[in-house]
Homo-oligomer: A and B are copies of this chain.
Amino acid sequence: MSEKRRILLQLDTDAQPSTFDSIVALDAGADVLLRYGGVRPETVVPLVHGAIFTRGPKDLPHTAIFIGGSDVALAEQVRDVVRKTLLPQWGLSVSVMLDANGSNTTAAAAVRTVLAHQELSGASVLVLGGTGPVGQRIAYLAAQQGAQVRIASRQLSKAQEKVARLQARLPHGRFLATQTASESALREALRECQVVFGSGPAGVRVLPKALWLGQSSLRILLDLNAVPPSGIEGVEPTDNGVLRDDVRCFGAIAVGALKMKIHKAAIAQLFTRSDLHLDIEELFSLSATL
């Protein structure tokens, strides 16, 4: 491989490309960023053509594509078009990573953090805020590890819709929709649960301490909310495995540190080949090596 600079196309569906994703990419080894905001499935093709038609197959590992933005579904559509536009049969391909809104790296870090302390195969897992992009990915990964996963939402129909999607994607996965609009419903959802993930909207308390305290099956609480108050009452952002009332707690900052490691390792990996597709599964596998 020649000494070509490592060029990363940062394709962001938001109007302003993310400074977060830019700085992480630079710190992870990208030499130059070509940044785009407002990227859409219908406008992305020429951007990909320029990436694959400018360097020969030998140098293409030094070009890569990162897809981000706060609208996860839109970013997935962009990714689909990007993949279809690549021409791997002619050696004209670049590696592609999808991490819209950090949802993939965050979910991978959350599940990996729990796995270091708790077998998930056969475990009962509750995902609060389970219908959001991060919650969905946590549910997917936990089910893949053999857990029975309850997707919680204030509206049962919303949870059921997401369960149907997850089931279609992972036919052998065990998913349940659960409604958590009331205290009694929350208490019911927690019954016999070993692990609770809190991935609800920022600054919203979704689980009061009174509800989880003394729940005897409970082993782990993991909360992803860095902005006070935490989603799960009693978990602090800096918690990194501390036992609180006999439950092991993990907060947003501890998980965030692993998320950053995964994110950087993934960017670095993009530049080792021209045929990688780093999505939730690949990022989760990668997290096992860190």
A interface residues with partner B (beta carbon < 8 Å): 4-5, 7, 9, 15-16, 18-24, 26-27, 32-36, 43, 46-51, 53-55, 63, 260
User: Can you sample 26 A-B contacts with CB below 8 Å?
Assistant: A5-B26, A5-B27, A7-B22, A7-B23, A15-B43, A16-B36, A16-B43, A16-B46, A18-B50, A19-B46, A19-B47, A19-B48, A19-B49, A19-B50, A19-B54, A20-B46, A20-B49, A20-B50, A20-B53, A21-B50, A23-B34, A23-B54, A23-B55, A27-B54, A32-B33, A54-B260
Most buried by B among A4, A5, A32, A35: A32
**What is the CA–CA distance of A12 and B259 in the complex, to the nearest angstrom?**
31
Which B residues are in CB contact (< 8 Å) with A48? 19
**What is the CA–CA distance of A260 and B50 in the complex, to the nearest angstrom?**
12
Asked if residues B47 and A16 are in contact (CB atoms below 8 Å), the reply is yes
Distance in Å from the Cβ of A175 to the closest Cβ of chain B? 32
Distance in Å from the Cβ of A102 to the closest Cβ of chain B? 10
Residue of B9, B21, B27 touching A55 (CB-CB under 8 A): B27
Supposing A16-B43, A34-B19, A36-B16 touch, asked if A26 and B7 sit within 8 A by C-beta, the answer is yes
Question: For residue A39, which residue of chain B has the nearest CB?
Answer: B16
Which B residues are in CB contact (< 8 Å) with A53? 20
Distance in Å from the Cβ of A70 to the closest Cβ of chain B? 9
Distance in Å from the Cβ of A17 to the closest Cβ of chain B? 8
Residue of B19, B21, B35, B51 touching A23 (CB-CB under 8 A): B51
Which B residues are in CB contact (< 8 Å) with A20? 46, 49-50, 53-54
Question: For residue A257, which residue of chain B has the nearest CB?
Answer: B56
Asked if residues B19 and A51 are in contact (CB atoms below 8 Å), the reply is yes
Supposing A26-B32, A54-B27 touch, asked if A9 and B19 sit within 8 A by C-beta, the answer is yes
Supposing A16-B43, A43-B16, A47-B19 touch, asked if A54 and B9 sit within 8 A by C-beta, the answer is no
**What is the CA–CA distance of A18 and B9 in the complex, to the nearest angstrom?**
11
Question: For residue A59, which residue of chain B has the nearest CB?
Answer: B27
**What is the CA–CA distance of A53 and B22 in the complex, to the nearest angstrom?**
12
Distance in Å from the Cβ of A203 to the closest Cβ of chain B? 14
Which B residues are in CB contact (< 8 Å) with A33? 32, 34
Which B residues are in CB contact (< 8 Å) with A7? 22-23, 26
